[in-house]
Amino acid sequence: MEGVRSAVRQVPGPCSHWNDDEADFIRHVLDRIGDKWSVLIVGTLEAGALRYSELAYAIPGISQRMLTLTLRQLTQDGIVSRTAYPEVPPRVEYELTPLGRSLLGVVLDLAAWAVDNHKEIHHNRTVFAQGSASAAGTD
């Protein structure tokens, strides 16, 4: 692979700053924090600690399985903390850690960008689909 890489013209960009191990780790982190459920959970926890049921209610369309899985992954990465209170019935709250709070601005900016541009993106997808459908009919 290294021989192929040396034959290819080096293009400046963010990936040129990192070695293969760093780039691989960056991809893994971005896969985790960049998926739609992680972005929505982090954004929802902006106001403070919430119970599981409050998160489920606040994030339309998320299944119990995806909420549980995503919370577990965000907790594993130290972005969200899980606190279980010894009460009857048991109470568990989720909250952003300092690391999660450092991600909050980026997540909210990304969500705002999606809201600001969703009509244009929807239009572009429609135009593309119409072009693909007409191109498929010309074969």
**Predicted local confidence at residue 24, as pLDDT:** 76
CATH 1.10.10.10 applies to domain 35-136: yes
Residues of the chain short of pLDDT 70, as ranges, are: 1-9, 11, 13-16, 136-139
Q: What is the full DSSP assignment across 71-124?
A: HHHHHHTTSEEEEEE--SS-EEEEEE-HHHHHHHHHHHHHHHHHHHHHHHHHHH
Kindly list the domain boundaries of the chain, sorted by start residue: 35-136
How many Å apart are CA 42 and CA 130, to the nearest integer?
36
pTM beyond 0.85: the answer is no
Q: What is the pLDDT of residue 119?
A: 94
